[in-house]
Amino acid sequence: MKKQLLYTLLLVLPHALNSQSFEHSNSWNNSLANSNIADTDFWNLKNNPAAAVYNNKLNIGIDVSNRFLIEDVNSALALGNININKNNKLVLSLSTFGNEYYNQNKASIAYALKLSNKLSSALQLCGTFNKIYSEEIKLLRFSPAMKLVVFYKINEFLNISSAYLLESHPAEYSNKLTQEISFGASYLLDERVQMFYQASYKNSSSTKMAIGLLVRFNEKISAQIGVKNNDLSLSFGASFQIKSIRIVSSFSYQHYLGFSPSVSIQKTFN
């Protein structure tokens, strides 16, 4: 009975977490409730690879998280950016979620192009492999996806970004194609405080909105908080820089399912 309940829960979780979409909630994005599509932070390059053109250093990072404090229901993400030249960048990511009953693996590659000092764009390709196991069945499914992102730095205070996602699903899904349009903005209130806003519309579903706030205490320490409406969730976290190593931790609380902790480590190479 316990295995059957866990198996059922794992089938529901990906939809509850929007994990069938392009989004992966690493510690940084999770702490801001995924409100920061217009963010230039390294950890947001998974969702906004167009911002990679403003990051001229090589970075790699690993993020691990637990979902709703459920044993063995974990996810992990590896992220890195590669500088081809001043105006051309690549962003690579690998992620996994699940356990012995359900497993989802994703791989993505994005090419970012700097069009001007203020404007950039990116094309991101992603493949999702779903594996479902039980005593009676074993299902393997593959879903390809494509994402187009445009990022614009209006001035030193305001950034805006928009994205279009197209994802294909297996034949048993009611919606064979998922289309999602996202828009976001970030505004620097002063040198220490930055606000984020993001709205997303997916097929015929209601609009998802999220708001985040970032407070920088100094160059090495910051705190983040965010809230979003689609699943009544609240998130908070902190970031610490130790030389070339940066650690981000976060907790999110979903009204229906509870807490999800996560932590990430980033290495910057000069």
Q: Which of 22-31, 54-63, 100-109, 252-261 has the lowest mean pLDDT?
A: 22-31
pLDDT of 116 > 90? The answer is yes
pTM of structure: 0.84
Mean pLDDT of 12-33: 63
Cβ atoms of residues 231 and 210 within 8 Å: no
If pLDDT is split at 50, 70 and 90, which confidence band does 138 have?
low
If pLDDT is split at 50, 70 and 90, which confidence band does 24 have?
low
pLDDT of 177 > 90? The answer is no
Percent of the chain with pLDDT over 70: 86
* Domain total of the chain: 1
Range of the domain at 150: 2-269
CATH number at residue 223: 2.40.160.40
